[in-house]
Structure 1
Amino acid sequence: MNTEHSQSTCKILNDVVMVKNLEYSALIKNKLQPLHVNTKFLTDFALASSTDDLKYSINYAVVCRDFKNYEKEHKEQNYNSVVSLAKHLIKDVAFKQNCQNVSVELELKEENFEVSLTLNRTISDDKNISIVGNDCVTIKNLSVSTIIGIFTFERFQKQPVVLNIDLEINLDENDSDFSIVGSTISNYVENSNFKTVEALVLNVNKMIYKLIPFVNSCNVGVLKTDIIEYSDVGVSSKRNKKEISELDSEIVEFADENVTTDRFVIPNLNQETQTKQIDTGDHIAFIAFGSNIGHQLHNILQAIEELNLHDKIEVLQTSSLYKSKPMYYLDQPDFINGCLKIKTTLTPHELLKVLKDIEYLSLKRIKHFDNCPRTIDLDIILYDSLIVNTSDLNIPHIRMIERTFVLVPLCELIPPDFIHPVTAEPVHDHLKQLMESEPKTDLQESIDLISLVPLPTRFPMLDEDKNKSLKFRYLEYDLVHSKTATQLMAILNITPDSFSDGCEANLDLESTMKKVDEMYENNVDIIDVGGCSTRPGSLQPLIDDEMNRVIPVVKEIKKKYAESVIISVDTYRSEVAEEAIKAGADIINDISAGTFDDKMYDVIAKYNVPYVINHTRGDIKTMAKLVDYGQTDDGDLKIYNKRITKEDIIVTEIAKELSSNIEKMYAKGVKRWQIILDPGLGFAKNLSQNLSVIRDLPFFKQYKQFDVKTKTYISFDYMPVLLGPSRKKFIGTITGKETAAERINGTSASITAGIGFGSDIVRVHDFKEMKDVCLMGDAIYKNIH
């Protein structure tokens, strides 16, 4: 048979007469094979169509009869291959018809796939038959189950996939047994363990060229049919012989022990993410922690302290703390969870050993069974962008994307465009999907989290015996769903010159304690003790005067009410803050966010107290003039919030300045869970800017930035926010009330608006009246009543 293309010129034929699914059987290598024959005759039936006369076309009834007669006459003939049969049918049946160009396809069905061969031929005037273009071999609907995918559940069960392989080939030069090729591919896929269908497709392509060197081009398509309930998904890839020959990698083979659903095994073919590429420099890792027995805060703080004491580890940032329901084993106490960002020169396995030593040697963790109660649990969630897959360590952590108690705190430490090394999706997207999914109550009673702001227990690092009676105290907020009752912080001024209620009687301890009693009886949540007026332009008292005003009051409150009253101290001086904490203060409320005293962060970090950071500019004398909030150059900052309105710009500038302070706090060891944000109503802001802050509080609460130079990510997601509009000048200007005490109604409206826009704590003078305002605001905006 001549394999050269026909040199004769002929008219382009656009008409087709076809015979489809003609049943045929033949002996092929001594095996009777049932087949389907599909034939296309390229012709010109212009005359047949215009005259309605069949003699000018091809009679498909005659064609069918000729095929069946040929089948009967040659039923004893044994063909070497399907290709050999096809060539006989073309020569002895198809070209007996009145045509010059024919396409014959033979289809045969194997156990889990089908093979079809299509031969395109033309016949010259001297009866030489030659190939037209390329022949085609298709291995279609090859159904097989294999381990493939990036999610945890995909690693523990085989997934059904369907392959379709199209080969362009000259079947005059190659007469392979394509059924064996299909079986070989099926066996390879069945015993593979890829993460991606892309890698599977490439390796099937390579295998095709190894099995059939004469292939001109190969297109491999793979569909996953059981991963998304409303759609089949997959990829296809076409490669020619030259492209495959230029690849320097061999076909990926998997050891039998790594093709298993009994344990988590994930391949890593990417050189950039392999542990063997780890250098001796600094690496960034993220550690998830959890504790549900013993004094959980002490356990967590001890673990952090031991990490920092290691000469090759530095804790850079902490997340917030979250209370979560136990997972997998449900009959145990709630957990306290969070994440750490660390810098280390240890390898992943060296780091793992350090974590296990802290768990089992330092904090005496006892593992009775999987997922049982524990003093501390420390897991490596991420290590740079590496993928580690060994019997004792998997990075990224295999179950991280199914756990809110991991993803929520982790997403406080990584930017929204941080890509999961395995799934190739932003980790923040995984969190969003998890939050929107139906919770699996057999795994966890609820995926909801409660944010905790720990209150100090005196003192955190005492030995275990003395700690047994100590209670873990904290403020708690449902910041994920905004379902926590607004907390009321009552102002207790120990000053003669405060703008709203300054008088000499404030300095009398007996008079002050009567106010405290009244606050306690009215169930305020926090009492904020201040011994220094911070109104713009006010004269500041000496530090000794402030100390003598504040400390006796704190001691007296603690003496009378012990732990049943939460005390905040309003001071920007580190010495006052430290002595107040020693006297029993629970919270430090700093109107300068640490900008007035460079030792404040050291004190806050040392005593682990909650820290209210208020935004201001300049100092007491200059702040009123520093009210330009035009958009500044972001410099090295990547801001993730799109600024659309003028108010967006104002709160972004406030957030950027607070974030600059927060980054300095982190460097000093202040934890994220200690921070309460205050956008600073009345401080370095004019009337319209104060209103903008209230209205744009939702934008402020979602602020996110990444410093590309320092690699520090700061977000305000799920941080408690305090708002303090009480009796302030901007209310008086709007309402015409010059006297602060007359601004109760304006304050009520501001507090209500603040609750509606998302404040978690409100700081007020008129606590009796504002208690009712909070109750109504929570009922209207949070459906809490």
Structure 2
Amino acid sequence: MRFSALHGRSRPIGTVQNITNDTVTIQRLRLQFLVNGEPKKLQISTNLHTSFERAGSTDDLKYSINYAVLSRQLLDYSKENAKRSFPTYNNLGMHIFNDILCNLKACRSAKVEISRQLDAGGEFGVEMERTKADNGEFICDKLTRDQININGLRCMAVIGVFTFERFKKQPVVLDITIPMKFDGQTKVPGFNESLAMKIRQYVEESNFKTVEALSINVNKMILQGLPEDDAKVSVSVRKPDAIVGAESVGVQSDRTREQIHDINSVAKFDSSAASTDKFQIPNLNSESQMKVETTSISHHIAYLAFGTNQGNQLQNINNALKALEAKKIHIIATSSLYRSKPMYYLEQADFFNGCLKVSTDLTPEELLKELKDIEYNILHRVKKFANGPRSIDLDIILYDNLIVNTPDLNIPHIRMLERTFVMLPLCELVPPDMLHPVTAEPLHSHLQQLLTGEKKVDKNKQESSDLWTIVPIQKEDGSVRYMEYGSIHKKSKTQLMAILNVTPDSFSDGSVDNLRMSNAMDRVASMISNDVDIIDVGGCSTRPNSVQATEDEELSRILPVVKAIKKKYGDKILVSVDTYRARVAEETIKAGADIINDISAGMFDDKMYSVVAKYGVPYIINHTRGNINTMTSLTDYNATPDGNFVIYNERTTEGEIEIGEIGKELSKLMCKMFQQGIKRWQLILDPGLGFAKGLSANVMVIRNLPYFKRYKQLDKRTGQYISFDNIPVLLGPSRKRFIGAITGKNPAKKRVEGTGACVAAGIGFGSDIVRVHDYMEMKDVCLMSDAIYKGIY
């Protein structure tokens, strides 16, 4: 006889170790038994641990367990005991161990599962494990376990944070495991099929925002009645319909008593809390609750949304802003202004919408009261029915980080996440990492879900969710005109701004002939016949190192021309005035000028902001550095320290670094503008081609226009957030020196083709307005570029 070594001992070849890792299974054998006097249709599963070593080598079933024979034995046992009532499922399980399985000599240990399909869906059952002792009986030891299983418990619940989730119950599925020591006889009160029904009732009457909270509260319910202190209960909650393309998503919580804080604090809900007739958001988080009478906070930050579609909409908005300030509700920042299609009630005029960031010492309820006073008593809103026409509508969108849920007020606003006309302007006022207080998801992420179509527009609710950026032009007689730009699909026609210099010394077309009114008006007539959109009148050359005309000289050149254009053409053409002087701006606005184009963005005259704010005109802010005599020496755009600023745009290339520096400098000026009352919807941005920039920098500005248009920064000290999102952008490459440097074309008048290339590229990269000398040639460039890049023709 031969031997082989095993763990230091010798054994004959052909003998085997006591291997018990093999399993013979029976899955969900359908049988009927009486349990506690009631007939139950059950599924019984067994896992029998044995060794296949001899059966596998001899191919002889006598060395294993015959599942066919065992299945018949279980079926016979059901028939033989048809009139016998077992007090509990676990008692039935113990009898299966002792009356049937103990006779299986090859079985070393076993697991028995007994379950029943619940009437309303899901299963309730027990799971028991036993090890066979030397005397052939099955016993509990450290390696075995017993547990109650509730699987696939399907409930319909109001759960989630989105509007559609609050107005419609959705399915949630629970899988629960409860460790329990079974002796085969003892009944543990409440731990039977009625527990599943109790859990289902709780879930269907609940009103949680998160499946996490639902899971933990179900855990608490179970642990409260569990006799074993150290048992760990597992609760899995799945939402099968939450994510398109996923079978389900969800969470699982495993907890013992010691791991749960305040085990007796199971969240309770009014039976109406789960109603789908009204929107309610529970708030179990004490951090987001505020008791007004005890708060030590004196100033709160709130975000308001406004909308109007009756009468003079711009006047309605401005009157509402004045009323807010009169009530000590200080406006910190405004969004852009948008035109939107009506929502919910479609048979009405388009709306003008926007958002405000305000500071107030009012409580949410007090703030709401003041907003309603403005709507109904000051602006005389008449509400004939919900979601109908209105002179003004003011809503609280956010208030600090609070969650408010009262019959009269919900904060965050209950429908904000389905409204593009709220989310787009709101995200101009809040940084990308600011979270929605309920969803804990960035507000910008919610906006992207709307913009990318992840959340489909219900045509029964709104014809289209497209928005148009509005730049309003209000005249002294109260009438209003608007420039419009596609905010979402960027498919608005490029506006052509034609340069009308009434100067003798401009860099490319300076001539004393420019000072003759007849010549100026002839050019105006030509511009209008060639369908330019804006005429930009300039009376002071801004070429580097040029001698600046006096304020009076500039006015004497510009004012007569502006008056003449407006007298002859009225509102047929928009007139912009190219000036950095506040007095010139004010006098020309009074004469009818529509737009102020400031090459210094207010740096050259500290009174400019007050003038622009006073008259509410569109304000083109051009980036430059230094002054007329020093700008050419200030062309270093190496990255500077961010300091107290958070820049949300990654800067990896030289061009992105340059645009980042331009963005920082323009943002600093924009903060001052907003503090002095200029509204965001008045602004048009110009990155400043040719101003304090060398050849390479000018090229990079054009190439990086998309980066420029999405620039974002936050001042950590003041909380001021500046973004360029959706602000129209003007590009002025016309005949600039960098074109001559690249093409070798001089004088400036020969740079028409180079200008055309810059205009086409600028439109392709996102410019909304182009400022040019050669308007006839550039008109065709704009038309072709719009056709190619925007599909407009």
Q: TM-score, normalised by structure 2?
A: 0.93
Could you say what secondary structure the match of 2:113 adopts?
strand
5 Å-filtered alignment, 1:391-402, equals 391-402=407-418
- Farther off after superposition, 26-35 or 36-45: 36-45
| TM-superposition CA deviations, 1:508-532 (whole Å, max 9, x none) | 3333223222222322211111111
* Residue 49, structure 1, aligned to residue 66, structure 2: no
**Aligned position for 2:205:** 191
**Aligned position for 2:281:** 266
* Residue 28, structure 1, aligned to residue 35, structure 2: yes
| TM-superposition CA deviations, 1:548-602 (whole Å, max 9, x none) | 2222222222222222221111111111111111111111110000011111111
Could you say what secondary structure the match of 1:454 adopts?
strand
* Residue 315, structure 1, aligned to residue 331, structure 2: yes
Give 1:257 shift: 2.3
**Aligned position for 2:241:** 226
Q: Which structure 2 segments of 5+ residues have no match?
A: 1-16
Give 1:267 shift: 0.7
Could you say what secondary structure the match of 1:372 adopts?
coil
* Residue 75, structure 1, aligned to residue 89, structure 2: no
**Aligned position for 1:528:** 536
In 1, are the aligned partners of 2:423 and 2:447 still within 8 Å (CA)?
A: yes
Q: Among residues 134, 153, 157, which one is paired with 2:145 in the alignment?
A: 134
**Aligned position for 1:489:** 497
**Aligned position for 1:304:** 321
In 2, are the aligned partners of 1:223 and 1:235 still within 8 Å (CA)?
A: yes
In 1, are the aligned partners of 2:102 and 2:137 still within 8 Å (CA)?
A: no
Q: 1:702–1:238: structure 2 CA closer, same or farther, 3 Å change rule?
A: closer
**Aligned position for 1:92:** 99
| TM-superposition CA deviations, 1:211-261 (whole Å, max 9, x none) | 333371111111112233422333343434333454466111101122211
Letter in 2 for 1:218: V
Could you say what secondary structure the match of 2:632 adopts?
helix
| TM-superposition CA deviations, 1:631-653 (whole Å, max 9, x none) | 11111121121112111111111
In 2, Cα distance between the equivalents of 1:374 and 1:347?
26
**Aligned position for 1:644:** 652
In 2, are the aligned partners of 1:83 and 1:175 still within 8 Å (CA)?
A: no
Could you say what secondary structure the match of 1:228 adopts?
coil
**Aligned position for 1:164:** 175
In 2, are the aligned partners of 1:206 and 1:244 still within 8 Å (CA)?
A: no
In 2, are the aligned partners of 1:149 and 1:155 still within 8 Å (CA)?
A: yes
In 1, Cα distance between the equivalents of 2:97 and 2:757?
90
Letter in 2 for 1:766: D
Q: 1:36–1:675: structure 2 CA closer, same or farther, 3 Å change rule?
A: same
Q: Give the root-mean-square deviation of aligned CA atoms.
A: 1.9
Give 1:721 shift: 0.9
Q: Among residues 230, 235, 257, which one is paired with 2:272 in the alignment?
A: 257
Give 1:11 shift: 5.1
In 2, are the aligned partners of 1:15 and 1:42 still within 8 Å (CA)?
A: yes
Letter in 2 for 1:168: P
5 Å-filtered alignment, 1:683-762, equals 683-762=691-770
In 2, Cα distance between the equivalents of 1:553 and 1:739?
27
In 1, Cα distance between the equivalents of 2:69 and 2:755?
97
Q: 1:759–1:249: structure 2 CA closer, same or farther, 3 Å change rule?
A: farther
In 2, Cα distance between the equivalents of 1:557 and 1:21?
90
**Aligned position for 1:655:** 663
**Aligned position for 1:415:** 431
In 1, Cα distance between the equivalents of 2:700 and 2:69?
86
Q: 1:591–1:78: structure 2 CA closer, same or farther, 3 Å change rule?
A: same
Q: 1:17–1:189: structure 2 CA closer, same or farther, 3 Å change rule?
A: same
In 2, Cα distance between the equivalents of 1:102 and 1:282?
67
5 Å-filtered alignment, 1:386-535, equals 386-437=402-453, 438-458=456-476, 470-535=478-543
Could you say what secondary structure the match of 1:420 adopts?
coil
Give 1:146 shift: 1.1
In 2, are the aligned partners of 1:63 and 1:97 still within 8 Å (CA)?
A: no
**Aligned position for 1:767:** 775
In 1, are the aligned partners of 2:113 and 2:126 still within 8 Å (CA)?
A: yes
**Aligned position for 2:128:** 119
Q: 1:90–1:338: structure 2 CA closer, same or farther, 3 Å change rule?
A: same
- Farther off after superposition, 733-742 or 63-72: 63-72
Give 1:60 shift: 3.3
In 1, Cα distance between the equivalents of 2:784 and 2:136?
97
In 1, Cα distance between the equivalents of 2:37 and 2:598?
92
In 1, are the aligned partners of 2:620 and 2:683 still within 8 Å (CA)?
A: yes
Letter in 1 for 2:326: L
Give 1:546 shift: 1.6
**Aligned position for 2:303:** 286
Q: 1:748–1:34: structure 2 CA closer, same or farther, 3 Å change rule?
A: closer
**Aligned position for 1:175:** 187
Letter in 2 for 1:709: R
Q: 1:65–1:525: structure 2 CA closer, same or farther, 3 Å change rule?
A: closer
In 1, are the aligned partners of 2:157 and 2:205 still within 8 Å (CA)?
A: yes
**Aligned position for 2:5:** none
In 2, Cα distance between the equivalents of 1:589 and 1:515?
20
Q: 1:246–1:418: structure 2 CA closer, same or farther, 3 Å change rule?
A: closer
In 2, Cα distance between the equivalents of 1:524 and 1:400?
39
* Residue 345, structure 1, aligned to residue 358, structure 2: no
Letter in 1 for 2:177: D
Letter in 2 for 1:701: K
- Farther off after superposition, 673-682 or 25-34: 25-34
Q: 1:39–1:728: structure 2 CA closer, same or farther, 3 Å change rule?
A: closer
In 2, Cα distance between the equivalents of 1:494 and 1:157?
66
**Aligned position for 2:9:** none
- Farther off after superposition, 88-97 or 367-376: 88-97
Give 1:383 shift: 1.3
- Farther off after superposition, 407-416 or 33-42: 33-42
| TM-superposition CA deviations, 1:534-555 (whole Å, max 9, x none) | 1110111221222222222222
In 1, Cα distance between the equivalents of 2:260 and 2:565?
82
In 2, are the aligned partners of 1:479 and 1:720 still within 8 Å (CA)?
A: no
| TM-superposition CA deviations, 1:409-455 (whole Å, max 9, x none) | 11111112221112222111122111222432221111111111111
Could you say what secondary structure the match of 2:434 adopts?
coil
Q: 1:707–1:778: structure 2 CA closer, same or farther, 3 Å change rule?
A: same
Letter in 2 for 1:207: M
Give 1:301 shift: 0.6
**Aligned position for 2:567:** 559
**Aligned position for 2:583:** 575
In 2, are the aligned partners of 1:705 and 1:714 still within 8 Å (CA)?
A: yes
Letter in 2 for 1:743: R
Q: 1:45–1:684: structure 2 CA closer, same or farther, 3 Å change rule?
A: closer
5 Å-filtered alignment, 1:331-342, equals 331-342=347-358
* Residue 783, structure 1, aligned to residue 778, structure 2: no
Give the number of equivalent residue pairs. Answer: 765
In 2, are the aligned partners of 1:627 and 1:684 still within 8 Å (CA)?
A: yes
Q: 1:763–1:181: structure 2 CA closer, same or farther, 3 Å change rule?
A: same
**Aligned position for 1:632:** 640
* Residue 152, structure 1, aligned to residue 163, structure 2: yes
Letter in 1 for 2:432: P
Q: 1:249–1:319: structure 2 CA closer, same or farther, 3 Å change rule?
A: farther
Q: TM-score, normalised by structure 1?
A: 0.94
In 2, are the aligned partners of 1:586 and 1:609 still within 8 Å (CA)?
A: yes
- Farther off after superposition, 65-74 or 77-86: 65-74
Identity of aligned residues (%): 54
| TM-superposition CA deviations, 1:97-118 (whole Å, max 9, x none) | 2134222221222212212211
Q: 1:120–1:479: structure 2 CA closer, same or farther, 3 Å change rule?
A: closer
In 2, Cα distance between the equivalents of 1:485 and 1:69?
84
- Farther off after superposition, 402-411 or 57-66: 57-66
Give 1:23 shift: 3.3
In 2, are the aligned partners of 1:181 and 1:211 still within 8 Å (CA)?
A: no
